[in-house]
Each structure stands twice: as structure tokens, then as C-alpha cells.
Amino acid sequence: MNKPRVKAADADVKTISEPETLVGRPGGISREQVVELTSKLIAIPSVNGEEGCLGEYLRELFQILGLQVVTQEVAPGRFNVLGIWPPIEEIAVATAGLLLHAHYDTAAPYDMEEPFSGAVRGGYIWGRGTVDQKGGLAAAIMAVATVKSLGFKPSKPVVVAAVVDEEAEHRGSSRLVQSGLKADMAIVTEPSSLRIVPGCKGTVPLKIEVEGRAAHGCRPWLGINAVARALPILKRLFELTYPEVDLGPELGRIRGSLNVGLIQGGVAYNMVPASCTIWLDRRTVPGETPAGVMAEIQKVLTLAREEVPDLKADVSIARPDWNWEPIRKRGLNPALTAVDSAVVSLVRETHQQVLGKDPVLYFTDGYNELDFLVNDLGIPSIQYGPGDSRLAHTSEERVEVEELITCTEVYARLILKACGGEV
């Protein structure tokens, strides 16, 4: 197994002056090593459900770096890998100064050419997961390796949590929550183009099943067309509107949304469809709940029954790729960390020091696992990572090398500030 050339030994470095860069300092981690590790992570496929090989690599890498390694199995061959430094006796007892959270499963390659090459060209690293989100994971690992190699001795631990199953049922972060991990603050290393994201929308996936009665297409009057029965439901779904929520001057105004993503009905062109299924993606904002969303859709069905009294239709929380009951019960909720919190202030300050300008703040329309850290573990958390999220899951997925290096530098400085200690 080829490993990046990382050093477990601490160098005899007496001071770390603020203006100097940490990445690339003699005796520490080089820029090339950051790129090398990112390419290596890309070269080990870890499509959702098939993360085991990369998990083993991460476990071995953390050991080489001299980190305490904790694994958390979520299913056979699927496990979180935590790298902790300095070591702690019990996760649920000690409080980390900083948690760096990343998922190491990826979407499928789809039509991407050479998705696992990790090739470096044109100033970018290419491949599935460069943006979503092995670039952020590599930056987190190399940030810890950087400050460790430069002789930093933190008074509070830093934890790199590499979790599985973010792309589907979120079993990895659910298992992390079960461990009772504590931290003063956390960074979700998902791509944000180095912008600060203190909040995300939730998502309530829904399935509406409409019942009809089958008949041959030559005698449609003998059946009940489920697609036709779905029309008054669809009409009312498309008429739904959502009020704006004001998150303040820095984050602005946001609103929830509903997308009708899939409509499935019938088995043949010459058969009256006996069923029609409508799949919905309802994005929620702070203050909205799955129960409230369900009540909203139930009202739509009630209004549709006023038009079609014998309409048979039911709604449930479901997603085509969800088979794990705990995630159906829990759902995926919106999250928000106050813009005047310590974690936002610290990242803002560090970004300004490294890049020489103030960072942009925004609330993302997408979902990420800030939800588990903020809502379940109670850790003030933000999203901040390398890469353009619009490239995630596409055939053009790539991360800019300079942005990756800059992010590693920011993470390294955050460890120094959040974990305290001395050099």
C-alpha cells in the first residue's frame, strides 16, 4: 500500500509566528504531500456502501501519523475512522478543542472519465470525491500532521472524524452521535469555496402513493387510472408557497421549497395504471419540522379528496435509497449556528489572516451533516472546505490545488487556536 510521505516524529520547533505559513515549513508537511494524499484518497474507490478499503487505509495512515485511532462500525465492512491527538481515555468524557468532520464515501462515478485517477493537471486534482469530499478530508488530516510535526502540544484534543454513508442513510454520523463525542466547536469540511456556512436546510423526502384499478387499455372505463387520480394532488403541490425567514443582515432571507422529482405509474402503455407514486423533496428551514411537513401534505390530500371523493392516497416519509428505519424516524433537519458564535468568529479571523480578506458567509440551500453535530451533539459547527459544490457528483469534479493548500493552512491555524497549548 503506497502511503504519502508523512512524518510521525515531532520536530524541534520553538515558535510558530502568525504571519508565516505552517504548510511547507521545513521539518513539517509540504504542499506536495497535501496534493499526494488527496490523489491517493481519490485512487481508492469508496462509493457509498463500498467504503471498506479506504477505511482500512485511513486507519493505517492515522497510526503512522501517531494519532489515537478509534473505529466505529455501522455495518459489516463499513466503519467510521477517528484520528485523535493527543489520545483520550473515553470519547464521551473528554472534550475536544476542535472536531474536523468529513465523510469518505462518494457518489457513483456515473459518466466521469477516469474517476479514480487523482490526476493533477491545469492546477486541479481530478476525480470522484475531490470536491465531495476527499479534498476536505485530506486538508483536515494534513492540518493535524502539520501542527504535530512542528512540535505543537495541544491542551485539548483535535479529532478528525472520517464517517461513512453521508450519501445515503447517514449511518456514520448517526454512530458518531451515539458515541457522545464532545467538542468546543466543529468544522464540517464539505466544499464551500472557503466561505463560511453556519447553517443548512433540512430535507424531508416524501412518497405519495395513489391507488387506482388496472384494466386493459382497450377498455379503460373498466379501470381507475391512478395517474389521472394523481392530477389534483399534483396541481395543489405545485401551488404551495413558503414564507421567507429572515436570518439577519449577514445571512439574509431564505425560504423552504418543494420539488416533485419523480412520478412513476403503470406497467405498460396498453394497461390502465393501478398505482401512481409521487416522490417529493421538501427542503426545510429552521423552525420547520417533519411533522409539520407531513401535516402540510395531508392537507393537500384532503383538498384533493374534495374534488375526487373516492380518492385513495397516502403519504409517508421515504426515499428510494432509504431502507434503514432509524433515518426514516429521525429525518434530516435544518441546522443553524449563530453568526456571533466562537466558531464563526475564529474561522472568520483565521481566514482573514491567511487570505488577507474577510470571508463570505451564507446559509446553504443544500443539506449536510451540520445537522447531526448541531442538533444532536450540541456542538457549535460551521461548514468550511475546499472546492466548488456545484461540481460535486458531476463528470467535471475537481478541486483547485491552491484552494486545497490554503484550506489546509486555515485548518492548521484553527487547531492552534481552538486547542490551545504550546509549541
Q: Which of these three, 288, 311, 330, is where a domain ends?
A: 330
- Is 258 domain-assigned? yes
Pull the grid cell for residue 50.
463500498
Which H or E run includes 245?
A: strand 244-246
pLDDT tens digits for 388-415?
999 999 999 999 999 999 999 999 999 9
> Same structural domain for residues 340 and 400?
yes
pLDDT digits (tens, 9 = 90+) for 347-377: 999 999 999 999 999 999 999 999 999 999 9
The amino acid that residue 104 corresponds to is: Y
Q: Is 15 part of any domain?
A: no
pLDDT band at 249 (very low <50, low <70, confident <90, very high): very high
| Count of C-beta atoms within a 10 Å radius of residue 383 | 28
Judge if 195 and 275 occupy the same domain.
no
Retrieve residue 199's grid coordinates: 447553517
Residue 339 pLDDT class (50, 70, 90 cuts): very high
Range of the domain at 338: 31-200+334-422
Q: Examine the fold and report which residue of 330, 356, 390 is the final residue of a domain before the chain moves on.
A: 330
Tell me whether residue 150 is exposed, middle or buried, using C-beta atoms within 10 angstroms of its C-beta: 0 to 12, 13 to 18, 19 or more. buried
- Residue 56 CB contacts under 8 Å (≥ 6 apart), including other chains: none
Statement to judge: residues 227 and 368 lie in one domain: no
pLDDT digits (tens, 9 = 90+) for 207-243: 999 999 999 999 999 999 999 999 999 999 999 999 9
Helices (H), 184-283: 226-239
DSSP 137-202: HHHHHHHHHHHHHTT-B-SS-EEEEEES-TTTT-HHHHHHHHTT-EES-EEE-S--TT-EEEEE-E
Q: Is the pLDDT of residue 194 over 60?
A: yes
180 and 232 part of one domain? no
pLDDT score at 423: 58
Number of domains the chain contains: 2
Q: Which has the closest alpha carbon to 82: 22, 157, 21, 16?
A: 157
The three cell numbers of residue 366 are 443544500
Has residue 7 been placed in a domain?
no
Distance of alpha carbon 2 from alpha carbon 364, whole angstroms: 37
- Asked which of 15-24, 143-152, 283-292 is least confident by mean pLDDT, the reply is 15-24
Q: Residue 416 contacts by C-beta under 8 Å, 6 or more apart in sequence?
A: 16, 147, 152
Tell whether 24 is covered by a domain.
Answer: no
- Judge whether residue 265 has pLDDT over 90: yes
The CATH number of the domain where 363 resides is what? Answer: 3.40.630.10
Instruction: Check pLDDT > 70 for residue 182.
Output: yes
DSSP string, 311-374: -EEEEEE--TT---HHHHHH-B--EE--TTSHHHHHHHHHHHHHHSSPPPEEEESS--THHIII
Say yes or no: 160 and 39 in one domain: yes
What's the rounded mean pLDDT across residues 154-170? 97
pLDDT in tens, 89-103: 888 888 999 999 999
Q: Biggest alpha carbon distance in the chain?
A: 87
Separation of alpha carbons 314 and 192, rounded Å: 38
Indicate if 182 and 230 belong to the same structural domain. no
Do 192 and 290 reside in the same domain of the chain? no
Average pLDDT, the chain: 94
Residue 387 has pLDDT above 70, yes or no: yes
pLDDT of residue 144 exceeding 70: yes
Query: Do 58 and 196 have their domain in common?
Result: yes
Q: Is residue 25 part of a domain?
A: no
pLDDT (average), residues 176-200: 98
The distance of Cα 317 from the centroid of its chain, to the nearest Å, equals 21
Say what the pLDDT of residue 229 is: 97
**Band of residue 8 on the pLDDT scale cut at 50, 70, 90:** very low
Tell whether 216 and 75 lie within a shared domain: no
Mean pLDDT, residues 152-166? 96
Residue 323, all three cell numbers: 431502507
Residues 215, 180 share a domain: no
Q: Which three cell numbers stand for residue 395?
A: 463528470
63: in domain:
yes
Q: Among 330, 348, 381, where does a domain finish?
A: 330
Is there a cis peptide before residue 178, judged by omega within 30 degrees of 0?
no
CB-CB contact of 239 with 260 (8 Å) = no
Residue 164 has pLDDT above 50, yes or no: yes
Residues 66, 213: one domain? Answer: no
Average pLDDT on 184-202 reads 98
Asked if residue 7 has pLDDT above 60, the reply is: no
Q: Is 8 within the bounds of a domain?
A: no
CATH number (domain holding residue 304)? 3.30.70.360
196 with 223, same domain? no
User: Would you say residue 16 lies in a domain?
Assistant: no
Give CA–CA dist 157/11, Å, rounded. 19
Q: What is the rounded CA–CA span in Å between residue 423 and residue 416?
A: 9
Q: In the prediction, which pLDDT does 6 show?
A: 46
